[in-house]
Amino acid sequence: MCKEYSDKSPNTSQKRLFLLKNKQGDEFEVQLNCAPLLDTNRQNIGWVVALQDITQNSRLEKMLTFQAVHDTLTGLINRREFEKRLESLIYEAHHDKAEHLLCYLDLDQFKLVNDTCGHRAGDVLLKQLSSLLKPVLRQSDTLARLGGDEFGVLLTHCPIEKGLDIAETLRKTVTAFRFSWDGQVFSVGVSIGLVSITEASGSLDEVLSHADAACYAAKDRGRNRVHLFQPDDIQAQERQGQIQWASRLQEALDKDLFRLYFQTIVPLENSDNTMPHYEILARMIGPQGEIIPPGAFIPAAERFGLMPKIDQWVIRNTLAWMGDQLRQNQQPVFCSINLSGASIGREDCLQLIQEQLEKRKVPANNICFEITETAAIADPANAARFITELKGLGCQFALDDFGSGLSSFGYLKQLPVDYLKIDGIFIQELANNRIDQAMVASINNIGHIMGLKTIAEFVEDAATLNILRQIGVDYVQGFYLSRPEPLESLMSVRVMPR
């Protein structure tokens, strides 16, 4: 082999990859490095040869590549890759006059399973349904999990009549499915919105909006049905859904109808920080006094630009509570407060934090602000400036949902954070998934090399907790350790409203 290199490039270093097998049949990826030995006249007199086992690095790279385009829970294409493929179909329709279809699927009665049996049951249901839906589609079609209980299907080169037949088969497949959990049997339905992708189609956002509107129309007409997009679906959705949410959110802000909850973050080893550590969570009070979780109202708040106001409500009330319990000589606590991407970099948010810290006499180093990786990556320079200003006051920062994309580690070097909160998609199946274990170990190792503490969320059983302890993760939180509780229940301190 060195002779081959010598004939081609006698004075140039060479690299080549090989796949080797041992006697047991295990495969190893090896990189061969050949460097020339030159005499004083720069003539080749030999080669230095080194073999490097790159199996682990190669596997990690492949895992990261796979993770970037797939949903960890179901193994389906994720939203990012789905939108990329949809954009290609829109381009093809515009230039080649091809006709495709987009199906938007939203499960009916999924919340009942989640609320009755817990998130683990909901996850199992989603995986089982994913396996049932794939065989219904053609080889050329794409099935993706878009988030929560929502799926997307791309039907390539598919006329409307054929697409309606496929969508109806999907609906019947879901309707016939029976989900069993702990002796209980559940049936779920699915509302499906269809939109045609043709030469006349608009942008990616417009096509997705039309599919969402068609799905909403299917639900509005009684659920568990298929609906082909019509132009007046958009107006109906706006009238019934969006405007209603906008007014409810504004009313909640005006009337202090939000409440603070907390979830304990537990150190796995002895920690230098002896203060209890809590993540502060927002909840909304509904018309009948029911507690509305953030997953129900935050998407609408983001859509209507109300997240900065909600963030500021949470900051104001959290710091007021912390100030009260300090004045009553109760044990100091360390609180993590979530900040939305819309608040990062806003001067009014910075000013509010500074004013409230001073007003409530809360030590800034008792506060940690959590920002999502997605929000930070959207404008890393602005995020870094914002973080630096607040760290100058003494506040700490955590990067939430870390590790969901290939770009994670690159952006991490630009952000002066203190904690990494490992994305929950790697934790939920940790006990049974070696890939997730490798990912968590890699994130934890890199975090520690950079001097950061690591936190794992969604810890729901002892097996997961033990694996995280073996890996060396610093902190954990999840239902196995403690469920979110109203902040009022923690200490006898007045909380609402401020």
From the list 132, 101, 137, 140, the residue with the least C-alpha distance to 227 is 101
pLDDT band for 339, please (50, 70, 90 cuts).
very high
The widest CA-to-CA distance across the chain, in whole angstroms, is: 90
Q: In what order do the strands lie in the sheet with 27-38?
A: 14-21, 27-38, 44-53
Q: What is the pLDDT of residue 402?
A: 84
Q: Which residue has the higher pLDDT, 188 or 16?
A: 188
374-421: pLDDT as tens digits: 777 667 788 888 999 999 999 999 999 887 654 556 677 788 999 999
Q: What is the pLDDT of residue 234?
A: 66
- Paired tokens of 181: 């959990």
- Residues of the chain with pLDDT > 90: what percent? 50
Domains and CATH numbers, the chain: 2-53 (2.10.70), 72-230 (3.30.70.270), 243-489 (3.20.20.450)
> What distance in Å separates the CA atoms of residue 330 and residue 437, rounded to the nearest whole number?
39
Average pLDDT over residues 306-324: 94
Q: Which residue has the higher pLDDT, 69 or 347?
A: 347
Instruction: Tell whether the model's pLDDT for residue 108 goes beyond 70.
Output: yes
List of residues 6+ apart from 86 with CB closer than 8 A:
102, 152, 154, 197, 204, 207, 208
126-169: pLDDT as tens digits: 999 999 999 999 999 999 999 889 999 999 999 999 999 999 99
210-237: pLDDT as tens digits: 898 899 888 877 888 999 988 777 665 5
Q: What is the pLDDT of residue 66?
A: 67
Q: Residue 430 gets which letter from DSSP? A: G
Give the global pTM.
0.58
Among 97-101, 182-186, 350-354, the least confident range: 182-186
> What distance in Å separates the CA atoms of residue 234 and residue 11, rounded to the nearest whole number?
67
Average pLDDT over residues 278-292: 92
Would you list the DSSP string of 116-156?
HH-HHHHHHHHHHHHHHHGGGS-TT-EEEEEETTEEEEEET
483-494: pLDDT as tens digits: 999 998 876 555
359-369: pLDDT as tens digits: 999 999 999 99
Other CB atoms closer than 10 Å to residue 231's CB: what's the count?
8
> What distance in Å separates the CA atoms of residue 301 and residue 406, rounded to the nearest whole number?
28
Among 37-41, 216-220, 363-367, 450-454, the least confident range: 37-41
Q: Could you tell me if 423 and 384 are in contact, meaning their C-beta atoms sit under 8 angstroms apart? A: no
Q: What is the pLDDT of residue 406?
A: 45
Residue spans of alpha helices (H) in 361-494? 373-378, 380-393, 408-412, 434-449, 462-471
How would you class 24 by CB atoms within 10 Å of its CB: exposed for 0-12, middle for 13-18, buried for 19 or more?
A: exposed
> What distance in Å separates the CA atoms of residue 102 and residue 215, rounded to the nearest whole number?
11
Computed over every residue of the chain, the mean pLDDT equals 86
Tell me whether the omega of the peptide bond preceding residue 497 falls within 30 degrees of 0, making it cis.
yes
